[in-house]
Amino acid sequence: MDKLRIFLQRTLGRVRHHVGTDQFGNKYYYIPEQATWTGQRTRARRTVDCVNKKEFEYQLGNIPTEWEAWIRGKRKDPPTIEEILKNEKFREEMKMKSKEASQDSENKVGALDRPEKTQVKGHASANVFGRPTISEEPTSTGNTFTPGSWSPGQKDQKK
């Protein structure tokens, strides 16, 4: 009987084994490693037939995370319905707890206050670093600069 199945697989093409269906109606299949009629081996694959066949109708969350982990090979066995429902309940509880925590943090005053704006005193390479007050006078060499008086290889001649 096994030889008949192998013969039919080679002549008719790939055989998909239905593994499960999720709550959205997506169907998940396992395609075992097979040899083609030429003797070439194809690797085992996991696929999904989505309810929304068109890509633009797909939205994030249409495939449950447990099934996505099975498709990507992150888990060995496909998820059970009980496991999916348990994880969904856990996610809902976490959403409720985070909503309560955010409401509590809005009502509390004290340790969670925003810090006051810190004063920037400047960088050590700035010419005003360490001075108690910044002068209002502009500091510029525009009045004393003469073109051609300095080049990168020369030392300052005023010293």
> pLDDT of 85-135, one tens digit each?
899 999 999 999 998 888 877 766 555 566 666 555 666 666 656 666 666
What was the pLDDT predicted at 7? Answer: 72
d(CA 129, CA 127): 6
Residues of the chain with pLDDT > 70: what percent?
59
Q: What is the pTM of this model?
A: 0.52
| In contact, 78 and 20? CB cutoff 8 Å | yes
Structure tokens at 78: 């496909």
DSSP state of 25: -
Of 39, 20, 37, 42, the residue nearest 29 (C-alpha):
20
| In contact, 84 and 66? CB cutoff 8 Å | yes
What was the pLDDT predicted at 45? Answer: 86
